[in-house]
Every structure is written in C-alpha cells, then in structure tokens.
Amino acid sequence: MTPQFAELWVYLAASPLLGLTATLLAYQAAFWLYRCSGGHPLANPVLIAVAILVFFLMSTATPYETYFAGAQFVHFLLGPATVALAIPLYAQIRRVRALLLPVLAGLVAGSLTAVLSAIAVGRLFGASLPTQLSLAPKSVTTPIAMGIAERIGGIPSLTAVLVIVTGILGAVGARYVFDALRVRDPAIRGFAIGIASHGIGTARAFQVDAQSGAFAALAMGLNGALTALLLPFVAEMLGRLG
Amino acid sequence: MLSALTQLLVFQLAGEVLARGLGLPVPGPVLGMLLLFAALALRGGPGEELQNTGQTLLQHLSLLFVPAGTGIVVHLHRVADEWLALLLSLLVSTAATLAVTALTMKLLHRRSGDAQ
C-alpha cells in the first residue's frame, strides 16, 4: 500500500460508511446475479452477498465489529420489516380462516420437527451441548432465535449464522422437496417454507408468489412464538440427559 | 413514507415494551406484528401510504439478513471443528421440517375439502 492509500484506508475503516456501502454494493451485485439467473433458487441473493462480504473482510483483514458498525443500519430495519409483515398477512385473512385447521396442525408438527430433528442429528454426529442448543432454534427468525439461544445456554452469534444458513437451505431446496411430494398449493408451500426457514424463506416466497409470501410470514410469526415457549422445556430435558 | 415508517416503529416499540413489561419470551417485533395485525383488522386495512412503505421494505427483505449472515466470519473455528454435525443437522432438519409441515397440511386440507 502507498502511504496515501494506507491513510485513506485507516480513515475509511474507522467510519461506518464503508460497512454500510459494502453491504449495499454486495447485495446489489448479488441481486443482479439472481436476476440474470432468471430467479434460480441456487443464486440466492443472501448467500451470494454474504460470500462477497466474507471474502472482502478476510482479504482486507477487517474485523467483523468494524464492518457491523456500518452494517447495523441495515440490520436495524429487520425490526420494522418484521412489523410490516402484518400488512401482507392481513391481505390473506380470508384464506387463512378457511385453512385454520391445516395451519394449526402444520405449525405444531413443523415446529416440533424443526427443533427435535436439529438436536437429534447434531447429537448423533457428536456436536457439543452448546452447539446442539445453538442449533435448536435454527428455524426461527434471527432476532427471536438469538434471544432463545441466550436463554437456553446456546451461543447467540453462532445461532444467528445457523439461522441464516437454514434460511438459505430452505429458500434454495424447498422447491425440490415440494415438487417431490407433489405439494402444489401456494398457501401450503408458503406456510411450510415459513416454518422451516423463517424470513429468508419468506423473502424467497414473496419473490415467487404473493400468497405464498403472506403464508410464509404467518408461519414465521407463529413458529417464532411457539418455539420461544417450547424450547426452554426441551433444553431443560437435554441438560438432564447431559 | 415518513408517517408509515413512524407507525411501524411505534408498533415495534409497543411490542418491545409489552414483551419486556410482561416478561414474555416472544421478541418485541413479533408482538409488534401481531399488534399491527389487530389494528389493521379493526381499521379495515392499511392506508395507501402504509401499504406502499410496507411493500418497499419487504421487497428487499433479503438485504436485511446480510449483516447477521456475514457474522459467520467470527465462527469459522467452531464451524471448522463441528462442520459435519452442523451441516447434516441443518440439511436433514430443514428438509424434514418442510416435508412434515407440508404433508400435515396437505392431508388435513384434503380431509376438510372432502367434508364440504
């Protein structure tokens, strides 16, 4: 690095501008690739943007905290965006009422499957107890999952990452699971993707179909609430098992 | 735009206050979503402004997960140590959750459809 450039870099690295701009640029590039691929699920914009940013942070040796000082302005909008999910949900209120029984049964079955299968497979392949507890809330939206992990003895920041990966896996793979099972109703597809992969699945569902998106939002909200109530008891039982 | 954004933040704040005040395990924004839903049901729908602002915000919902996702750089060590268990757990559990939820709903939907 030339001295002038090093000086400029020191200035930029200390300001939130860099983290914020890098996040937006990486996302724009990722979204452009997603468009070019014709909306292919493997070209998930979150996945590509995260890969670009991880490469950028590692190659410039920038600490995550420095990056987050700028990126937090984007991260903050998750709160109001979660609240705004009530709007598409309201637009689907009739359809939700007509599907009340399948919705409630799907919620309970899906929520239990998400928590118990994550712990069971993690245990089977030798994950430590804190890792198992970080895996348990992985199908729930990030802010809820981090809160749950903290409460039950998991590692909140690891949970945040596992939640994102789960979201991407669901957004990428749901289509293949549904097609194999011949599930075609957009409401059911949306609801299942919202249970399994929260906001990222919901974002993907909105990109495919408005009704799917609304049901995904409903599922995400309900699953967040149910998992938050359920997991402390499961964690207590796990603690006894050791 | 401004008034709609203010409304969203007010509902989030109300949710946050309610969750902390009553010691509920549910996060504030989710309660805020439920409160806004109740308000929309009472009001008979969102106004044009709230509708548009909400749509704009949700159109790029994916963007909002990028900062947290980038946090994986902090956990590369643990991920390197336990990657197989983590990967298999996430893969199997996500597929199982999608399948169980969708099949449960399909089964019950068909039943209630037959009854009509």
Shortest Cα distance from B113 to chain A (angstroms)? 10
CA distance A83 to A190: 19
Same domain assignment for residues B47 and B74: no
Same domain, B72 and B47: no
How many domains, in total, are found in chain A?
A: 2
* ipTM above 0.90 for this complex: no
Instruction: Say which residue the tokens 């990722």 belong to.
Output: A30
Looking at the structure, do residues B5 and B35 belong to the same domain, yes or no?
A: yes
For A173, the closest chain B residue by CA position comes to B95
- CA dist A174 and B63 (Å) reads 20
- Domain region containing B8: 1-59
- pTM, to two decimals: 0.80
Same domain? A100 vs A47? no
Q: How many domains does chain B have?
A: 2
Size of interface A-B (CB pairs under 8 A): 311
Summarize pLDDT for A124-147 with one digit per residue, the tens.
Answer: 999 999 999 999 999 998 877 887
Number of residues in chain A: 242
Domain boundary among A28, A50, A76: A76
Alpha-carbon dihedral of residues A95, A98, A101, A102, nearest 10 degrees?
Answer: -50
Q: What is the pLDDT of residues B53-96, one digit of tens each?
A: 998 988 888 898 899 888 888 888 888 889 999 999 999 999 99
Q: Chain A: give the shortest CA distance to residue B7, in Å.
A: 9
- Which residues fall within 8 angstroms of residue A60, CB to CB, at 6 or more apart? none
Same domain, A125 and A43: no
Structural domain containing residue A99: 83-241
